[in-house]
Amino acid sequence: MKLIRKVMLMCVLNFLVGCAANRSVSCGGWLPIYLDNQDVAVISSNLARDILKHNKQGAHLCGWKDGQETKQQR
């Protein structure tokens, strides 16, 4: 059990250091979440709050810009 905890801790630390040290690679798999008017009408306020947090965190860490949507990001 102790070995599993230590390995898990090492993996978490490795992932966190990788995200901080190598921004372009760590942000490669994440994109902003864009919503249509239909989406906004049916989602809950908690989901909307989570999407906003995701987009703000990505803007802070990965340099996403507001309103710069491309077809590739959809």
Domain locations in the chain? 1-29, 31-74
Which pLDDT does position 22 carry in this prediction? 54
Residue 1's SS3 state is coil
Q: What is the pLDDT of residue 45?
A: 92
| pLDDT greater than 80 at residue 72 | no
Q: Does the global pTM surpass 0.85?
A: no
Q: 12 pLDDT exceeds 90?
A: no
Question: How far is residue 30 from each of residues 8, 9, 34, 69, measured CA to CA in Å?
Answer: 23, 23, 12, 14
pLDDT in tens, 43-70: 999 999 999 999 998 888 888 887 554 4
Assess whether pLDDT exceeds 90 at residue 15.
no
